[in-house]
Chains A and B, each alone.
Chain A
Amino acid sequence: MKKSANKNYRGKKLIDKKFLGKAPIDKQVLAKYSKGPGLDLKRKRNVIKNKVVRKKLQQKEKIIEKQVEASARAELLLTEEHGYLEADEGETTTEYRQKQLTDNVDITSAAKQFKLDLQFGPYCFRYTRNGRHLLLGGKQGHVAAFDWVTKKLACEINVMESVHDVTWLHLETMFAVAQKDWVYIYDNQGIELHCLKRMNGVTRLEFLPYHFLLASGSKDGHMAWLDVSIGKLVARYNSNLGRISVMTQNPSNAVLCVGDSKGIVSMWSPNSTKPLAKMLCHHQSILTCAIHPHGTYMATSCVDKSVKIWDVRQLTGPVSHMHLCSPAHRMSYSQRGLLALSMGNVVEVFRETSGDFKPYLRHKTARNVGCVKFCPYEDVLGISTANEFSSLLVPGSAEANYDAHEINPFQTKHQRREAEVKALLEKIQPELITLDSTEILEVDVPTYKEKMESKKKLLYIKPKSINFEPRRTKAKGKGGTAKVIKTKKILKDLSRRVRDFHIF
């Protein structure tokens, strides 16, 4: 298909033909869907000598190529366009206030800009993965869950304890709250479902949706992962980092990134008590750390007023480096790569253009900002302070076209239930949390040492003669030639025993 299209365009003979076949696809779009270069199966250079195997592999490659092409062509069917904000001549986008934005957009969008006056502040909050629901947690015990689009309240309770962090579980029907001592799980009517006493003194909560793990970092440096589908604590250990106050998850590989006071970001999985990787990002303590929802970049900010962007796939960087006028206390990455920073009572949104970050929007509040988060699939940024929560419009921050099989903002109750079952069926085991989530597709090549060992184990090579002088024991009945021979035989058998894997 692709070949013929190319030929048609290149070959001069066919130029006057009426139908030129399918339209050519933009190479950049193809590259976006590409699954890698694939195998080189040209006959001459190939290591695969078997014709049948080579043919089979060629066919597989063709299928993959077709699939990539089909998904690239399907991009034509995407209906929504993402938002944008363009300044007039002589103006910059940072000059525009929220009032001006709401005046210039349609009513439904304007309704997304709102403010809640609250009194149990400072607040932390989370959006659900589909961006429909909002969970607020006030330090003084106020917890509220609601559909922020329709402003329909699901529940509002006061837990009568300090609240340190809140997070939704896999659906909008359940959420976890890190309270004074323990972590509690409530349902969307505010009924307490569980009290997790194994997670005590928790300061930060994260939920890993594909693994169904509720991860927590506590004030004494303990990290814990709890499988919420079966209620089992998967791992719990001391990270030896002291109080964990900066913790985010990498959404592309489910590794927890913890920033400490020495400027190091360490990456943790439930499988090892040592961090999988450590990055020295700053020389002073890290204030906050945010990771791009697609798992590409990580932004870290430091008390020395600098913000650095790192390539978190290759663990290199910094890709870019910013100096601010005051240190950024909270950060958030949007789906399309906008970076929101809160500095005191100012929230600034940065946009990347050709490598460097430029300010895009600015917003001032009366009090210091406690938390900023972009809403997924909506052009909205939520900020919370000690006495208010406000939702700001940030055009062009969110992904316009969602995939309903993955996340559906418009899902019905029935669909939600079905999606829950499906998600549970493909729950990824915690053992698969690694730095590279595609590790499972890689070929396991035995090392030279392993090869040699397996060769040694082959049974038909005569075992080495074992000659040893047994200890002479004076005790009665312990020595004797028969006993020595028996011991030697046992040792010989042990040395050549091969574990066989024949099952049938």
Chain B
Amino acid sequence: MKVKVLTRNPDEYLRETKRDIHKIPRNFDPALHPFVAPREYTKALNAIKLERVFAKPFVGNLEGHKDAISCICKHPSQLSTLLSGAYDGEVKMWNLAKGTCTRTLLAHDGIIRAATFIPDGKRFITIGDDKTIKTWDAANNEKDEPLNTIASKRVLSNITHHRTKPVFVTCGEGLCHMWEETRNVPLHTFKWGVDSLHDVKFNPVQKDLLASCGSDRSIILYDTRETGPLTRIVMKLRSNKLSWNPMEAFTFTCANEDYNLYTYDIRKLKTPINVHMDHVEAVIDVDYSPTGKEFVSGSYDKSIRIFEVNKGHSREVYHTKRMHRLTCVGWSLDDKYIISGSDEMNLRIWKAKASEKLGILKTREKLARRCNDALIEKYAIHPEIRRIARHRQVPKHIYNARAELRTIREKNKRKEANRRSHSKKNTVPFMSEREKHIVRQDN
């Protein structure tokens, strides 16, 4: 007789001393792990609930301005430094890590329209309603006088600096001026039409490419080397701001007055590649995350929304009771925070991922989070999980406005369908949402 009975030597299964870690023998045989799918589903459900429980995006606010904030400007290399300009002509430099104001300048007479850092971060340029362009020393905190002041002949509304060359462009009444830092007269002047321009942005990759938004509802692309204006698209309503995608620099997103944001591919400007809806009032500002996968938008409806580039609806909405109409938003260069400036004189700092834990995570914590994220992604389509993931409490005015907008949209759809069914074939063509908002493209 040959016999063997299962015996487990406890020495092999128990730890030797109390200081040891426990021995965890594993056996991945699927038969020993029943109910894998329902258990995973339960875990995913718990994970998504916890994510909503821990979604506390508001980090803090920076107070100190005496008037509404008009613009913010991120430092190109220091994460903690931020510039903000206000309607009373004051510029403040902030230390975001400490939450303190490090410097206050009375820079202009009237509204600060825009500010920008020189790419090396040593100086910054501000423009204001007093038609001057002032260059400041960023390092010297004591100095109250600008390094250089240029008087422009026209009203200025925005400024952007070239990525590498010592060249910046301002826009204003119908013109774009290109300046060199050392000279007091513009190098070039670009012009298309007579309407004033209110935003201009250099492309971060194709460094000499420039895009601007005009008040005649147009978006104009310029080549700053020789050619000047390249092309122009005209939309139904005007675009307030635009932002280039830092990773796919051939696309940009513009914030439009018609409550939507539009992402364009400059190789095919005829229609936008995506329409991002969800705001219920005009979108004022937009800024891309450094990953180029998401962008943040601030709107006149007192809310901030975060969109994914390839999605039509926002993944997140931020609002507080005290936050008023947004004037500017920015996505910090470490992809972790969102900074917003609004009408009621406060700068606010938000987390880019609402439920993210700040600070250093333990390895176990990190692994658990990764596991949870994977499970949420796997079961994302299940109705219960989707419902929890999507649900956001929004202020009453947004809630009501959304219902109203929905009714309007449905009414238009119905009207169009009825008109189509009662007219001769092909006289009422179908028009996609993307085509609807664009009027024409000029070359």
Contact = CB atoms under 8 A, between A and B. Distances in A.
A405 B39 contact: no
A297 B256 CA distance: 64
A450 interface: no
A158 B46 CA distance: 42
A441 B417 contact: no
A401 B27 contact: yes
A51 to B, nearest CB: 14
Give the 9 A-B residue pairs with the shortest CB-CB distance, closest first.
A460-B414, A71-B28, A109-B5, A460-B413, A86-B2, A294-B31, A460-B417, A403-B27, A404-B24
A167 B97 CA distance: 59
B430 interface: no
A462 B25 contact: no
B436 interface: no
Given A254-B35, A406-B33, A88 B25 contact: no
Given A210-B35, A210-B39, A428-B39, A88 B1 contact: yes
Contacts of B33: 403, 406
B5 A459 contact: no
A285 to B, nearest CB: 30
A447 interface: no
Nearest to B310: A52
Contact of B3 (A84, A426, A440): A84
A251 interface: yes
Interface string B13-55: 1100000001111111111111111110111001000000000
Given A405-B24, A415-B22, A504-B392, A428 B1 contact: no
Contacts of A462: 414, 417-418, 421
A410 B10 CA distance: 8
19 contacts: A85-B1, A86-B1, A105-B5, A106-B7, A112-B5, A210-B39, A254-B35, A294-B31, A401-B29, A403-B26, A403-B28, A405-B24, A410-B8, A410-B14, A426-B42, A428-B35, A439-B37, A462-B414, A504-B317
A109 B6 CA distance: 7
B248 to A, nearest CB: 14
Given A395-B4, A410-B14, 5 more contacts: A75-B28, A377-B6, A403-B28, A409-B8, A440-B382
A104 B1 contact: yes
Contacts of B25: 79, 401-404
A439 B402 CA distance: 37
Contacts of B435: none
B387 interface: yes
Size class of the A contact interface (CB-based, 8 Å): 35 or more
Contacts of A406: 32-33
Contacts of A399: 27, 32
B14 A437 contact: no
B406 interface: yes
A502 B38 CA distance: 27
A504 B278 contact: yes
Interface of B: 1-8, 10, 12-14, 22-39, 41-43, 46, 278, 314, 317, 382, 387, 390-392, 394, 402, 406, 410, 413-418, 421
A83 B7 CA distance: 9
Contact of B6 (A251, A252, A400): A400
Contacts of B4: 81, 83-85, 105, 395
B37 A441 contact: yes
B34 A398 contact: no
From A91, A395, A398, A460, name the one whose CB has the most chain B CB atoms within 10 angstroms: A460
Interface of A: 32-33, 71, 74-75, 77-88, 91, 96, 100-101, 104-106, 108-109, 112, 210, 251-254, 294-295, 377-379, 393, 395, 398-407, 409-410, 412, 415, 425-429, 432, 437-441, 459-462, 500, 502-504
A80 B414 contact: no
Contacts of B392: 503-504
B7 A32 contact: no
Contacts of A441: 37
Contacts of B37: 437-441
A82 B6 CA distance: 6
B27 A78 contact: yes
A461 B30 CA distance: 51
Contact of A503 (B12, B391, B414, B415): B391
Contacts of B415: 460
Contacts of B406: 500, 502
B391 A428 contact: no
A429 B35 contact: no
A500 B413 CA distance: 15
A43 B42 CA distance: 35
A294 B382 CA distance: 27
A429 B35 CA distance: 12
B296 to A, nearest CB: 16
B387 A428 contact: no
Contact of A459 (B3, B14, B41, B410): B410
A393 B5 contact: yes
A104 B2 CA distance: 8
A60 B382 CA distance: 19
Contacts of A86: 1-3
